[in-house]
Structure 1
Amino acid sequence: MRKLIIGISAADGMRIGMRLLELLREMPEAETHLVVSRAAERNLQLECGVSTAQIQALADYSYAPENMAAAIASGSFQTDGMIVAPCSMKTLAGIAHGYTDNLLLRAADVCLKERRRVVLIPRETPLSRIHLKNLLAADKAGCMILPPMLTFYHKPADVAAQIDHIIGKALMPFDLTPAAFRPWEGIT
């Protein structure tokens, strides 16, 4: 069983976080622990037309972002790591610099201090020098930075296929492969 913490912060790209939860829901070998930032709740409504309760229903466990006593706030609670999708520049800055004023940031901090995987899917364009410095700082802290870049080798038919591919890449470090993901197999 893979225990994954899923963080959704207030960046454009709510469909990425929502689809991540949908794909993980189809995997019996995955257990999800979700924390959605308060600002992300509004973005979910604006971008996807879904409520916080609807997104929480996709996870096995869900926590309020103010609940600093939640299981995922402690290193003694064993997880395989965390994916933040999407990751706002504010959340990126907090993770990169150890600023843990909410549960999403604390959970990432715990994963990093326990040497667990943390995958960030940052959403911003263009990137400022501050963003770039924070991305580098997060990488140096141990995060995998996975911007949702367009890919074409898998011949995506639409945006949904692009999102599935990004999620497949985000799950690779956890040895999870969603059925919707087609990795490059090379040419023979």
Structure 2
Amino acid sequence: MAGTKIVNAFLKIRNSKFFNTLVISVIIASALYAGVSSYNEIIPADYVFLLQVFDYSITIFFTIEILIRIFAERSLVNFFKDGWNVFDFLIVSISLIPIGGAESVFVARLLRIVRILRIITVVPAFRHIIDSLIKTIPRVGFIALLMFIFIYVWGALGTLFFDEVDPEHWGNIGV
């Protein structure tokens, strides 16, 4: 009974308009931060620390947000059944890995940019568009095959009609 109350509390938070608006706002702030941090050569040293605190705050917020979404599900398996949840979980998990060494600046920037992609999972219209694009991939493959056949047939006809006129260019299909 107490477990159900806790799940319902997290469910209420996850489904609230305020929470979703806050998540979108933090994703946009993360995008702005990714842009600002690309100017690290001209950022005064006093602000570098503040930007790092801001970056850590964003990471902490996303971690809490993922935990709320996990606890809002009846089970962990239910959370990971949704591919978008797996995508979000991976992005947040990777951003928690400490980075050191020469590549750290590049990897940190890359993670900040990838973190912006979370907007796709938060805004239902974006999710619908991406889902639709994924569903059309097989049809696009058939269209490409049909175009290949069409072009091949015209190429074969071209070799039949023009091979005697210009054998160097039209002697074969040229595959």
Tell me, yes or no, whether TM beats 0.5. no
Query: Structure 2-normalised TM-score?
Result: 0.27
Between Structure 1 and Structure 2, which shows a larger proportion of strand residues? 1
Between Structure 1 and Structure 2, which shows a larger proportion of helix residues? 2
Query: Structure 1-normalised TM-score?
Result: 0.25
